[in-house]
Chains A and B, each alone.
Chain A
């Protein structure tokens, strides 16, 4: 590197090198005092600009030269030292003067796996699989435009690019799979079902019931019942009414198990299973159901189901049930083996009622007649009661349903 006579003032054109502090051949270190100069205005000490060997001295002490004249040379060992300043300005912009004053933004981390908020959001909204998206950003990261391109290219398999949550009626399949996360209620239902099955030894018992008398009662109601009440009169309210009578005779089924005790309840607080579509199952309680008439029972069931589906019920509406009934019959199933609603000991499933040929005894002779027949199944906790008790209960239930004067009860 050339050592030159510095500019010591705007109007100064030359300077005198007064003293060398290093000799030719000496090693010098950056900022070490190298020489002194004087002008008519000022004297100054000049440090070595680089480290190296003071290879040559051209201007001796006491000589006066022009500003800019070469005084000596330091060999730093780098090739092309002389071009150092011009080379720097031609180098890549990261070392250009414009960036000297501010510390540079330098990222040491690789962005390849990083998903920016914009990208995350798009992936979540459209339920995409990020491993399928080609990233063309820095370090190969997926940038927003990559996601948009992917969505565009896969328009058909992703169905419509809606931003809403997945519609249960229209599953979007990606790679043959549609992932539907459990709703909170579904999760709670699932957890309860597993727990119940691990706690109670379930035994299922079914009995066939002839609904002729119930049917007569149903036919006897006025034609504007549905319009008036807002719902149809099904078999369920009758069965529930009969259930109350049967439980009165077999109270051990209207109970809870707590540790090794059977807590038998005086009154029936009936939990009714309400299906919330794919969201799950809830069992709100109709209080003191034994005091209600069939019509009142019908109204209670309808209203509680409606409120449950609307989400208007409160936590206390689900507490205190002593027995549960679940109505699965609407679609004509034969029987169902329900899961006990802890800590109760029994649950009744009402299934489809359909016309079937049965044998009845007429004056000692067997005759085939057509009757509306449905199977009612009870699942009971075998810790609390045994098969004989349950069977006797079901027989009582059947008797009430088959023999009660339902028509007069409705009027």
Chain B
């Protein structure tokens, strides 16, 4: 067992895959010589050299266009989009080309790539550099969507993403980069599309993703000691494929569901989960499904305002107290 930070786990995961498979290549802005603007890819350039680890110009379309071409012709590229907000610049390549090629060519042209990107707020980067956009990817058929919350899941899910024959959107939450966690020695591989029950509970189920998971867990622990409410927490880990079975199993037990997301209010992933559970488990519910989300605003730059906007431990705590009777 080793203790690594979330950002170290990124480099560790990429290294593990690049060592295993010579076809895995890595490209992005400042990811090589500089080790990444978030220092998430330190050491890869030294280990694998400039052929396999490429610093690109500042052009998201070029990065993804190149990655797509490489993937279509036999390589297994990992492409970095520095801030997930920038996906909007190259979204046509993601949504219309990468996501649809396998389908439209009946499997003749496949795109086995991973797009990893720094997602989410809390770092005071302002409205255009703090968005959580995993829900954008969830909506496009043909993409797999992953958002780990722990260093172990970063490494294991990144490995699974690289080995997956289809395009995978890999969302690293910026605010989690410094978080430490244990990673087992040896090969680390997790399973895409499998959620994890990180807290067992009998009164209410919280479904959370990425940076919201540790906050939900902290709220759950507080709710147990301060209000004697037994709160279960599910770390979704993947949005596509979505592990509905785990969600159903837990909600059948508790009959109450609260989702916690960093997406803005409208059409965040919480809306989808809420809708699915309402439809499939309507007759099991003892209270309406509640979504805790960021309000539907561009995120503020000011410290206090950003902290108010993104769901905090306190906000989750209060929501549970208010909703669960």
CB of B1 within 8 Å of the partner chain: no
Q: Does B197 contact A (CB under 8 A)?
A: no
- Residue B194 interfacial (CB < 8 Å): no
The CA of A105 and the CA of B290, in the complex, are separated in Å by 10
**B308: chain A residues within 8 A (beta carbon):** 97-98, 100-101
Partner of A101, one of B283, B295, B319: B295
* B304 touches which of A97, A102, A138 (Cβ 8 Å): A97
Interface string of A82-99 (1 = CB under 8 A from B): 000000000001101111
Asked if A144 and B286 make an inter-chain contact with CB atoms under 8 angstroms apart, the answer reads yes
Indicate whether B4 reaches chain A with its CB closer than 8 angstroms.
no
Chain B residues, Cβ within 8 Å of A19: none
Interface string of A117-149 (1 = CB under 8 A from B): 111110000000000000001100101100000
Decide if B2 is an interface residue (CB 8 Å cutoff): no
Find chain B residues with CB under 8 A from A98 CB.
Answer: 308, 312, 314-315, 318
Further pairs besides A118-B283, A144-B286: 11, Cβ < 8 Å: A98-B308, A98-B314, A98-B318, A99-B315, A101-B295, A101-B305, A105-B290, A105-B322, A117-B285, A121-B284, A143-B286
Decide if A116 is an interface residue (CB 8 Å cutoff). yes
**B309 to A, closest residue via Cβ:** A101
Rounded to whole angstroms, the CA-CA distance of A209 and B304 in the bound complex is: 102
Q: Residue of A at shortest CB range from B202?
A: A145
Binding site for B on A (CB under 8 A): 93-94, 96-102, 105, 111, 116-121, 137-138, 141, 143-144
| Given A96-B314, A97-B304: A138 touches B325 (CB 8 Å cut-off) | yes
Q: Which residues of B contact A117 (CB under 8 A)?
A: 282-286
**Cβ of B17 to closest chain A Cβ, rounded Å:** 40
Q: Are A119 and B286 in contact (CB under 8 A)?
A: yes
Q: Do A116 and B286 contact each other (CB < 8 Å), given the known contacts A143-B325, A144-B255? A: yes
CA distance A210 to B251 in the complex (A): 71
> B258 → chain A, closest Cβ, in Å?
11
- Cβ–Cβ contact B286 & A99, under 8 A: no
Which residues of chain B are near A97, meaning CB under 8 Å? Answer: 304, 308
Interface status of B198 (Cβ within 8 A of chain A): no
Return chain A residues, CB-CB under 8 Å to B319: 105
Contact present for A118 and B284 (CB under 8 Å): yes
* A93-B323 contact given A117-B283, A118-B286, CB 8 Å threshold: no
B282-325 CB mask vs A (1 if < 8 Å, else 0) is: 11111100100001010000001100110010110011001101
Query: For B283, what are the chain A residues with a Cβ–Cβ distance below 8 Å?
Result: 117-118, 120-121
Cβ distance A103 to chain B, nearest Cβ, rounded Å = 9
Q: Report B324 CB to chain A, min CB distance, Å.
A: 9
In whole Å, how far is A174's beta carbon from the nearest beta carbon of chain B? 22
Q: Is the beta-carbon distance between B285 and A116 smaller than 8 angstroms?
A: yes
Q: How far is the CB of A390 from chain B (nearest CB, A)?
A: 58
A105:B255 contact, CB within 8 angstroms: no
Give the distance in Å from the alpha carbon of A99 to the alpha carbon of B292 in the complex. 11
Chosen A-B contacts, 27 in total, with CB atoms closer than 8 Å, are A93-B314, A96-B314, A97-B304, A97-B308, A98-B315, A98-B318, A99-B315, A99-B318, A101-B308, A101-B309, A102-B265, A105-B290, A105-B319, A105-B323, A111-B325, A116-B255, A116-B285, A116-B287, A117-B283, A118-B283, A119-B286, A137-B325, A138-B325, A143-B286, A143-B325, A144-B255, A144-B286
* A160–B318 alpha-carbon span in the complex (Å): 40
4 residue pairs, one from A and one from B, having the closest CB atoms: A138-B325, A137-B325, A144-B286, A118-B286
Nearest to B297 among chain A residues (CB) is A101
Interchain CB contact under 8 A, B295 and A93? no
Once bound together, how far apart are the Cα atoms of A38 and B160, in whole Å? 60
- Neighbouring B residues of A137 by C-beta, 8 Å: 325
Determine the chain B residues whose CB is within 8 A of the CB of A100 once the complex forms: 308
Taking the nearest CB of chain A, how far is it from the CB of B53, in angstroms?
40
* Closest B residue, CB atoms, query A116: B286
A117 to B289, CA, bound (A): 12
